[in-house]
Structure 1
């Protein structure tokens, strides 16, 4: 088990435990206080737990070495986990939107109790700290699954901020005997749902690009191209295609060599090209070199 996976697994388990506790706290207090926004926020935290479990499964699968059925490795398992989290976010967002919208149609809502505000403030502080930790770690180890999970936490922060305004406005409305402010609580729940759906869509879009094996742009592969071209015996780099495969990069490269050298010499040049790319760039895990006769 490498250091990268240990760090990601620890961060994911932290999210599972904290989200579970927050979901229970917000659910109980939201029910006692009668807050639609806080109950919606509790559901969001609960969905974080499910998302973290999916991320954990994806990370563990991505650690498996290449085999006959997966010669390029299992790196995309992280992107699959990211898509699962994204879809989960979108579904939860739609559910919250429907629940909050019904409040405007039926009987006027009852203003939530003041205790709901305390639960929301605690949630905002805790989830923002977890977001900052996971966001920085995801960038450091280049994990799309962990990044999706981090943004899942940030969407929870945003939803809690919206809930804070909604519940706070509803509480003030009750104290000032201004009934219309009571609707700020379900309105906050509706705003929360829009935040969640938007984040889910963005994460799904980014993960899908990797799943479709979109090649890296020319400016991103320029340094790989130059490294291969500097290898002794390489007359010309004919083509270099680099694609992301989960958290790492796979390269297919065609180089031209002197047509009069032996097969063994050509093979040695291809080995040197492969070694140079793997040694100089830790993000590259697979290199496939094809030798062409120079013309």
Structure 2
């Protein structure tokens, strides 16, 4: 089984267990913050299921219908997960405001904060595993899932702290206030996730640092060509795509020019994992007929 798929299934098992535990304790104690955490974990479970299927599909090789592979299924997954987080946050805020107005008290804060701290510890371990595998495989779906669980770590710890303070002070209004604070924190994380997942869907270029690696790699083989232009980059799932036009002297043998392109492609794949490179060979026109190396200023980056 693919490592990403195996790790995504771990998240499903973890979230399912936590939902049951939080629901039981939330109903018993009457704590809106614990119930909001159960809602949060339910959204996490839905996100984990989406992540599981997206990494399973994205791991398929390219086919006739998807010649560039299935990587964007992970990006779609990230957008859907961000929307789920937004929905969970709105539900939490609504329920907390109702509880704040009604002034309902928590029945047993002691059991509540113990369960919340346990939940935070479990999610910390699982999210760390997810993040490690996500970084290793550059998986947007697993990064989104890891973010879900990491926000759950903070929110569970925050709810636990709020219930602990209620146990000490007897101020029950702290319960819905903590829930509202957590919801706004989750909204901020969801906005960041939505941006990261949506950009590849509209073919936003690679990051400046990645483009710098690409241009530096090309420069290693100069002199050898006259210049390059029309550099374009994009990302699909964990796959990076780079294409450019490389200009050579008109009298250079095609095999020599092709060998230089091969070397650049190999070097680029070493520097940036999961990268597909397409280089279009171009010959200098009449304006740079004297481009013969090393005098190549007229052809540079047209």
TM-score by length of 1: 0.87
The reply on whether 1:40 has 2:36 as its aligned counterpart is: yes
Aligned CA distance change for structure 1 residues 211 and 172 (closer, same or farther; 3 Å):
same
Q: Aligned partners of 2:274, 2:138: CA distance in 1, in Å?
A: 12
Q: Indicate yes or no: 2:176 matched with 1:186.
A: yes
In the TM superposition, what whole-angstrom CA distance separates every residue of 1:179-218 from its partner, at most 9, and x where no partner exists? xx11111111111211221111110011112222221355
Q: What is the aligned partner in structure 1 of residue 295 from structure 2?
A: none
1:178 alignment partner in structure 2 = none
Q: 1:259 aligns with which of 250, 253, 266?
A: 250
Provide the C-alpha distance between the structure 1 equivalents of 2:69 and 2:77, rounded to a whole number of angstroms.
16
> Higher mean Cα deviation, 260-269 or 29-38?
260-269
Mapping of residues 277-292 of structure 1, within 5 Å: 277-278=268-269, 280-281=270-271, 283-292=273-282
Cα distance in structure 2, aligned partners of 1:197 and 1:226: 38
Tell me how far apart the structure 1 counterparts of residues 274 and 226 of structure 2 sit (CA, whole Å). Answer: 23
CA separation of 1:237 and 1:38: change in aligned 2, threshold 3 A:
same
Q: Is the 8 A contact 2:233 2:243 kept in 1?
A: yes
Secondary structure of 2:234's partner? strand
SS in 2 for 1:182: coil
For 1:221, the equivalent position in structure 2 comes to 211
Aligned mates of 1:219, 1:21 — CA distance in 2 = 41
C-alpha distance after superposition, 1:42-97 (max 9, x if no partner): 11112111101111111112112223333222212111111111111110010010
Measure the CA separation in 1 of the matches of 2:144 and 2:99: 31
- Which residue, 104, 110, 113 being the options, matches 2:105? 110
Is 1:120–2:116 an aligned residue pair?
yes
1:99 maps to 95
Distance between the aligned counterparts of 1:217 and 1:203, measured in 2?
16
Q: TM-score when scaled to structure 2?
A: 0.85
Aligned pairs, number: 283
What RMSD, in angstroms, separates the aligned Cα atoms of the two structures? 2.2
How do 1:1-295 residues align onto structure 2 when only pairs under 5 Å count?
6-106=2-102, 108-113=103-108, 114-174=110-170, 181-229=171-219, 230=221, 233-261=224-252, 267=258, 269-278=260-269, 280-281=270-271, 283-294=273-284, 295=288
Counterpart CA distance in 2 for 1:134 and 1:95 is 26
Corresponding position of 2:293: none
Corresponding residue SS for 2:172: helix
Question: C-alpha distance in 2, partners of 1:164/1:218?
Answer: 41
Gap runs ≥5 in structure 2: 289-302
